[in-house]
Amino acid sequence: MTGEKRILILTSDAGFGHRSAANAIAAALQETRGDRCVVEIVNPLEDKRVPTTLRKRQTDYDRIVREMPNLYRFGYRASDAPVPSAIAERALTVMLFEAMHDIVQQHRPDAIVTTYPLYQAPLGAIFALSRHNIPLLTVVTDLATVHRLWFYDAVDLCLVPTSTVRELAIASGLFPDEVQITGIPVHPNFAREDREPVAIRAALGWQPDLTTVLAVGSKRVRHLGEVLRALNHSGLPLQLVAVAGGDEELYGEFQSTEWHTPTHVYNFVENMPTLMHAVDCVVCKAGGLIVTESLACGLPLLLVDVLPGQETGNAEFVVKGGAGELGEKPIDVLEIMYHWLDQGGARLAQHAQNARRLGRPRAAYDVAELAWAAAERGPHTKTGSKIPGRLKLIALLKRHGVPWRDKRLSGPEDS
């Protein structure tokens, strides 16, 4: 139809957050632009031409951060510097060029949004070699501690969650007008739910008048079962909602527990916005997705696990912002929960107020508007003068035997 725009969203399944942000942006675009916008979500790492080591990064991520956190911390810190990052960008260009080139040619987008940092350098190479620049927006999905690879100077916009990350982006070489604070996109359903918690609890079959704690687990959350056992035997006037996040072993543990506190057990849920709007606080790890969703709902966070690297910054953001506390041991969790409920729940209420201040429930809509504006501007072709670094890119790809020369990419200076 006339005026139809195509927006390609690139993501990854290394963790839940990248895919969730992509889905949220797509949902916001479909809601606000309807059939004027064709949105397609693609994970380039699923292409079989991508080296196995890189493709397996998605599944290995879970295992490494769970079984070898110190190794993950070392790798994260060692690579988060200018020289290692520059080397990584060249390697990613070589490993992903073919797959990324064909994805761009197949979908022919008017704009590209990426919620994963590894795709920017290959896209920059494609744009330089073809002289055909497609507006590129990067959506950063960590709240404070952000790897340098997120900040690539060929993007049109780098959309960040906080002022802290904006400062990091500018310090890494991006121009201030290229960096905008939008928050991390959460599904529009988080902004749509307007029922009172009591009404939602009644609809879910929960007790309406008890302070309700949502505990969210997964294969990456250590010791959640121990934390819930402590709350279960605490005698506190609580209602527990335990979500295993698809971890069958944890779900089995929940089901076999003798609950002394009113408790509702779930495995994997697709109505997280509804659950979050029905509870008073969240017990979870410091993952970017769960933290962002909780803040979007104005929920205090009791963080029971922090993976090294980016989650350290997420935890610091929550604690320094007064939106929650860190309690990695069951006894710490009990102490915090007693304090939250003391004096009529005054501390819990203060944390909730701070969480509402930090939360950005409409971030997906803000990103969608910027993506639509970029798509309306559309791609443009560079003509005339030579593009800096183009010949070096050609030499790099030739040296590693990466096919690149075809009628769409070759030009008069390609010798």
| Residue 309 and residue 288 in contact, taking contact as beta carbons nearer than 8 Å | no
Rounded Cα distance between 337 and 334, Å, is 5
Rounded Cα distance between 166 and 127, Å, is 25
Tokens standing for 291? 């933290």
Find, among 281, 266, 267, 258, the residue nearest to 210 by Cα.
281
| pLDDT tens, residue by residue, 209-221 | 999 999 998 876 7
| pLDDT tens, residue by residue, 225-267 | 899 999 999 999 999 999 998 889 889 999 999 999 999 999 9
pLDDT beyond 70 at 87: no
Specify the DSSP class assigned to residue 284.
E
Domain boundaries, the chain: 5-186+362-399, 193-358
Mean pLDDT estimate for the chain: 86
Rounded Cα distance between 326 and 283, Å, is 10
- Please tell me the pTM assigned to this model: 0.85
Q: Does domain 193-358 have CATH number 3.40.50.2000?
A: yes
Contacts of 41 (CB under 8 A, 6+ apart): 9, 10, 11, 19, 22, 23, 26
Backbone angles phi, psi at 81, to 5 degrees: -150, 160
Read off the pLDDT of each residue in 35-44 and give the average, rounded to a whole number: 95
User: What is the structure's pLDDT at 359?
Assistant: 95
Largest alpha-carbon pair distance within the chain? 77
Tokens standing for 173? 């070489």
Q: How far is CA 145 from CA 83, 259, 292, 310, in A?
A: 19, 38, 14, 5
Q: Where would I find the beta strands (DSSP E) of 108-156?
A: 111-114, 132-133, 136-139
User: What is the structure's pLDDT at 177?
Assistant: 94
Backbone angles phi, psi at 411, to 5 degrees: -150, 180
Rounded Cα distance between 120 and 122, Å, is 6
Q: Does domain 5-186+362-399 have CATH number 3.40.50.10140?
A: no
pLDDT beyond 80 at 140: yes
User: What is the structure's pLDDT at 164?
Assistant: 92
Read off the pLDDT of each residue in 57-73 and give the average, rounded to a whole number: 54
